[in-house]
Amino acid sequence: MGLSKILLSLLLIQAAFAEAPKLLTKHGVDSIRYISMDGRVAYVKKRPGVLAVVGFFQSKDFLSDSEASDFIVHATKDKIRTLIEVVPLVHTEYNLLKEHRILSSKFGDTATKEVGKGQRAKLHLADEWMSYYKPKEREIVIQNLETEKKYSILLSPKPTTFFTPEVVMINSETVVYTDINDKGLAGVIAYNLKTAKSSIVFKAAQMGTRMELCQGEDYLAVGEFPYDGITRKSQIITMKTASASNLLSYETLYSSLDQDLGNISCSDKAVYFIKTLSQDKKVGLKKTEVAEIEVKSGKVKVRTDLSYVSHVLNMDGRILAPFRGEFYVLEGESNLATDRLKGPKEGKE
């Protein structure tokens, strides 16, 4: 995308506040760890240390751990498997290096199997593959959940306690992840599992920024955003993922001097992120909202009117903005509290 198109995108920023209803479900928002787009399957924290799966007209408590533990549930739109991170001592041990037990199960099932220990577990490629990060070893583990074959990717040896890599898989051979080199420059690396060779896909031109990744239907988005208090520009680029060789070719989707928070999340047709609309540098206060960029047109829309949004996430294709005990829905069904059954025509996609 050329400079003229970027400037045009910024001029076309629109507000669409009415399009962000609250998520309505039969479960308390604070208990939800995952809920499917149709609301038929949900993983909820029933009480301290207990995780339940609710679906198909029944509720089953299936994980019981220490009352000080919490759970992170990972699932994809393929709904074949689920990964569950058991986070120990969530309110009493603030250790960035502590490992979580990672369990795998069939989607909606209660039988689990421990598959690793680490952080930032993620499913890839029709739930056949998983990745997770071991912070003490600074190691990304890539594992095939069917064959149990494991691969190890070591990050830059310079210790950076506050850095956690982001990982996506383009295909069964190509892993793309973020890292920081010994000069403090963030970058995006492509790693070939068969040859064990890596190449730099994209590198920051200056220190003080971090890279983020998310994946849409046929593209990979890379966000570069400044650390808090550092004056750097924000930008989002996209790469076509039809072939791993195309990753060296990218287009700039968005560029701004507004020092956005980032936290990008992809749907099939758009990239969502936390945009800084204004800031008071004297007190370090920013007004931040969720912005949406259409990948095809580059049009930017501000989708919330909440003033201090910090995160946006994708849960089974539903784009959510958590804010003060509520989930605001930016894309996908918002009312899951009804028992009305869909008719034959409504059920068709």
Asked if the model's pLDDT at residue 339 lies above 60, the reply is no
Show the tokens assigned to 166: 């982001």
Q: What's the pLDDT at 18?
A: 52
Question: Dihedrals φ, ψ of 272, to 5°?
Answer: -110, 145
- For residues 52-76, average pLDDT: 91
Structural domain contains residue 9: yes
Our count of domains for the chain comes to 1
Cα–Cα distance for residue pair 330/323, rounded to 1 Å: 13
- For residues 96-102, average pLDDT: 94
Cα–Cα distance for residue pair 188/212, rounded to 1 Å: 9
Structural domain contains residue 124: yes
By DSSP bridging, strand 197-203 and strand 186-192 are antiparallel
Structural domain contains residue 345: no
Cα–Cα distance for residue pair 275/256, rounded to 1 Å: 10
CATH of the domain at 302: 2.120.10.30
Residue 101, C-beta contacts closer than 8 angstroms, at least 6 positions apart: 85, 86, 88, 114, 117
Structural domain contains residue 343: no
Q: How confident is the model at residue 242 (pLDDT cuts 50, 70, 90)?
A: confident
Question: Higher confidence at residue 16 or residue 118?
Answer: 118
Structural domain contains residue 349: no
Domain enclosing residue 253, as ranges: 3-338
Q: How confident is the model at residue 23 (pLDDT cuts 50, 70, 90)?
A: very high
Structural domain contains residue 348: no
Q: Residue 58 burial (CB < 10 Å; 0-12/13-18/19+)?
A: exposed
Structural domain contains residue 344: no
Q: How confident is the model at residue 8 (pLDDT cuts 50, 70, 90)?
A: very low
Q: What's the pLDDT at 238?
A: 95
Look at the pTM and tell me if it is higher than 0.75: yes
Cα–Cα distance for residue pair 166/81, rounded to 1 Å: 20
Structural domain contains residue 347: no
